[in-house]
């Protein structure tokens, strides 16, 4: 029975409990913060390429007191806010909030999430968190400047970093953590309890497996980082000493390294929290556009499970230079290298899907192949970071920055674009321009690799991260021209995204109307119109096969089956 449409604009479009409306809210919020975080990245690269020179066009508006140049106080705020906004308020809303909310009910055959009101509250906690983060720019002293990792004692002491901007930053992250935790509970329950008849766990799309394992990690580890943030606020404002020691502490008992253990206990699983949905999406899209079943489906799902378990016991590789006992460091080194085994299985399964396939180079497929390429580079360079002796040399250099951006930022960015280009017709009922999309991909691919590969190169020359002026160090002056090169490449990467934003906004209103299944995809969501009706399905669908039934012989209307096609039952018996 069709649900009645709420009459009030506020209940229908603002404080909605419907998963598709909430998904669009997450998507638009994430895209906005993607632009904000990108502008901050360009400001960072300008400072490194032209230290203390006025920023063109927007410099006098943002940095009036310095004649348009980035000040020494503003630079730490930029890289702190850039990292946090990109991870928690751009990528997380798009890949967890939008992708999860939109696809999970449609792909399992449900009319909504398991807890619709909790879903609505989850988004508005994210909204309040983002408002708190942005408000920190406008209080005396400015935004937070202690780095996106919020390391104590710098973050926990009002003597070292006074001002309410630091507190608003921490509050914003804490609200976001609560939002993600509520979403994780909803995702797990919906996938486990609301599946349509016949939709066994072995028939779930890989995207849903990625979202499921991401939600499991969020549920396990977010309370830890939330408690750490709460203790930092207590140290700042209530006179406690959880992380303060020595002259800064009001009393004895604080442990500075305790914060690092708590943060990285969440921080490393966070990598997989963000990358799991991308890995699942890549598995599905490679199958769709290679017109082959996903190679090694079961091995891929088991690899996700293995990584979920191992991700919680490898955090110490972030702390090799913290004074850790070398024997403990060896244990973390071994466990970190062990994670590469299931990750390699992922990669080989992707290649197996591509092998001898009929590839369709659509825009979503190009970005999917981009994920495969950049993650390969990020994964291989990660092995260097896992080696304790080598990490001592490269720790806190731009080699780590380049590796991290390849492994997470580039993979997640390309995965984000693959998601948007692929699901845009289903969400909005219109198609994005293929010509603009392909131009967007190739420009992004070239400039992105130019930026992050050279970062690793200068890192091997000893270029430290978080410094504002490399020319202040004699040994770095010979590589300063590479900072200029990265700056130009970053500008090219940033300008390339204007094609995406134009394509996105234009297609919202003037794009070609989309059919129900423009990609000839086999999963359940593509059996309903584009966009789907409010209630999703007129009747509970019956599932007969998995989501990757491509290359099926003996069919008179193509070589693929939808999950709701009853012919799959007869073919399975034959």
473-531 tens-digit pLDDT: 999 999 999 999 999 999 999 999 999 999 999 999 999 999 999 999 999 999 999 99
Taking only the tens place, the pLDDT of each residue in 364-403 is 999 999 999 999 999 999 998 999 989 999 999 999 999 9
Residue 572 has pLDDT above 80, yes or no: no
Residue 3 has pLDDT above 60, yes or no: no
pLDDT (mean) for 167-177: 94
Position 328 scores a pLDDT of 92
Mean pLDDT of the chain: 92
Higher-confidence position of 330 and 572: 330
Position 1 scores a pLDDT of 37
pLDDT (mean) for 164-168: 93
Mark out the alpha helices in 15-154 (DSSP H runs).
Answer: 19-49, 59-62, 74-84, 99-108, 116-135
Per the CB < 8 A criterion, the answer to whether 431 and 518 are in contact is yes
pLDDT (mean) for 217-245: 93
pLDDT band with cut points at 50, 70 and 90 for residue 551? confident
Higher-confidence position of 465 and 557: 465
pLDDT (mean) for 339-358: 93
| Percent above pLDDT 90 for the chain | 83
pLDDT band with cut points at 50, 70 and 90 for residue 120? very high
pTM of the model: 0.94
Percent of the chain that is helix, strand, coil (3-state, to 5):
70, 0, 30
Position 65 scores a pLDDT of 82
Taking only the tens place, the pLDDT of each residue in 49-87 is 999 999 998 888 888 888 899 999 999 999 999 999 999
Residue 435 has pLDDT above 50, yes or no: yes
Position 213 scores a pLDDT of 97
CATH topology of domain 18-573: Cytochrome C Oxidase; Chain A (1.20.210)
Per the CB < 8 A criterion, the answer to whether 146 and 81 are in contact is no
Nearest to 257 by CA among 315, 209, 208, 308: 315
Position 324 scores a pLDDT of 85
Distance of CA 395 to the CA centre of its chain: 23
Half-sphere exposure of residue 106: CA atoms within 13 angstroms, side-chain side: 28
Residue 256 has pLDDT above 50, yes or no: yes
359 CB-near residues (< 8 Å, 6+ apart) = 289, 290, 365
Position 12 scores a pLDDT of 77
Per the CB < 8 A criterion, the answer to whether 273 and 217 are in contact is yes
Q: Is the peptide bond before 319 cis (omega within 30 degrees of 0)?
A: no
Residue 2 has pLDDT above 60, yes or no: no
Position 335 scores a pLDDT of 93
pLDDT band with cut points at 50, 70 and 90 for residue 5? low
Q: Which of 16-30, 313-327, 411-425 has the lowest mean pLDDT?
A: 313-327
Position 10 scores a pLDDT of 77
Residue 162 has pLDDT above 90, yes or no: no
pLDDT (mean) for 169-185: 94
pLDDT band with cut points at 50, 70 and 90 for residue 556? low
pLDDT band with cut points at 50, 70 and 90 for residue 433? very high
Half-sphere exposure of residue 232: CA atoms within 13 angstroms, side-chain side: 31
Position 557 scores a pLDDT of 64
pLDDT (mean) for 409-436: 96
pLDDT (mean) for 407-417: 94
Q: Which two tokens stand for residue 336?
A: 């970190």
* H or E segment to which residue 513 belongs: strand 512-513
Residue 236 has pLDDT above 50, yes or no: yes
């Amino acid at each position: 029975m069709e649900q009645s449409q709420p009459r009030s604009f506020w209940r229908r479009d603002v404080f909605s409990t419907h998963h598709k409306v909430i998904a669009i809210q997450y998507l638009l919020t994430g895209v906005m913060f993607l632009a904000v975080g990108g502008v901050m990245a360009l400001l960072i690269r300008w400072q490194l390429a032209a230290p203390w020179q006025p920023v063109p066009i927007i410099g006098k508006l943002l940095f009036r007191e310095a004649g348009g140049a980035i000040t020494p106080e503003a630079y730490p705020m930029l890289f702190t806010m850039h990292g946090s906004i990109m991870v928690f308020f751009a990528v997380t809303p798009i890949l967890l909030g939008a992708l999860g909310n939109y696809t999970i009910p449609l792909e399992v055959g449900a009319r909504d999430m398991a807890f619709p009101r909790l879903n609505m509250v989850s988004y508005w906690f994210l909204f309040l968190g983002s408002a708190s983060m942005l408000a920190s720019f406008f209080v005396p002293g400015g935004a937070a400047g202690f780095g996106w990792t919020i390391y104590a004692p710098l973050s926990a002491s009002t003597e070292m970093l006074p001002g309410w901007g630091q507190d608003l930053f921490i509050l914003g992250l804490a609200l976001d953590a609560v939002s993600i935790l509520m979403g994780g509970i909803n995702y797990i329950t919906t996938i486990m309890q609301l599946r349509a008849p016949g939709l066994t766990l072995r028939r779930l799309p890989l995207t849903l497996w990625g979202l499921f394992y991401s939600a499991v990690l969020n549920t396990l580890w977010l309370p830890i980082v939330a408690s750490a943030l709460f203790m930092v606020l207590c140290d700042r404002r209530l006179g406690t000493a959880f992380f303060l020691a020595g002259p800064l502490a009001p009393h004895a008992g604080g442990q500075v390294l305790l914060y690092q253990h708590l943060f990285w206990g969440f921080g490393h699983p966070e990598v997989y929290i963000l990358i799991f949905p991308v890995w699942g999406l890549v598995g599905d899209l490679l199958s769709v556009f290679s017109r082959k079943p996903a190679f090694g489906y079961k091995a891929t799902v088991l690899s996700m499970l293995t990584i979920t378990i191992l991700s919680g016991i490898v955090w110490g590789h972030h702390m090799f230079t913290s004074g850790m006992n070398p024997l403990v460091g060896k244990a973390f080194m071994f466990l970190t290298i062990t994670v590469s085994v299931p990750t390699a299985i992922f990669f080989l399964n992707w290649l197996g899907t591509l092998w001898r396939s009929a590839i369709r180079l659509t825009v979503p497929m190009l970005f999917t192949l981009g994920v495969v390429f950049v993650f390969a580079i990020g994964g291989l360079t990660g092995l260097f970071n896992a080696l304790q002796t080598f990490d001592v040399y490269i720790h806190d250099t731009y080699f780590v920055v380049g590796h991290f951006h390849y492994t997470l930022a580039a993979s997640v960015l390309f995965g984000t674009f693959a998601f948007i280009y692929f699901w845009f017709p289903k969400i909005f009922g219109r198609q994005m321009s293929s010509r603009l999309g392909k131009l967007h991909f190739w420009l992004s691919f070239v400039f992105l690799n130019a930026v992050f590969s050279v970062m690793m190169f200068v890192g091997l020359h000893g270029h430290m991260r978080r410094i504002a002026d490399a020319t202040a160090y004699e040994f770095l002056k010979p590589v300063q021209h590479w900072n200029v090169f990265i700056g130009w490449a970053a500008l090219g990467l940033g300008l390339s995204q204007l094609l995406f934003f134009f394509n996105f906004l234009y297609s919202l209103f003037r794009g070609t109307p989309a059919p129900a299944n423009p990609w000839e995809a086999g999963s359940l969501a593509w059996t309903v119109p584009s966009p789907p009706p409010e209630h999703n399905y007129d009747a509970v669908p019956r599932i007969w096969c998995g989501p990757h039934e491509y290359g099926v012989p003996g069919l008179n209307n193509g070589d693929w089956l939808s999950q709701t096609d009853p012919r799959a039952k007869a073919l399975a018996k034959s």
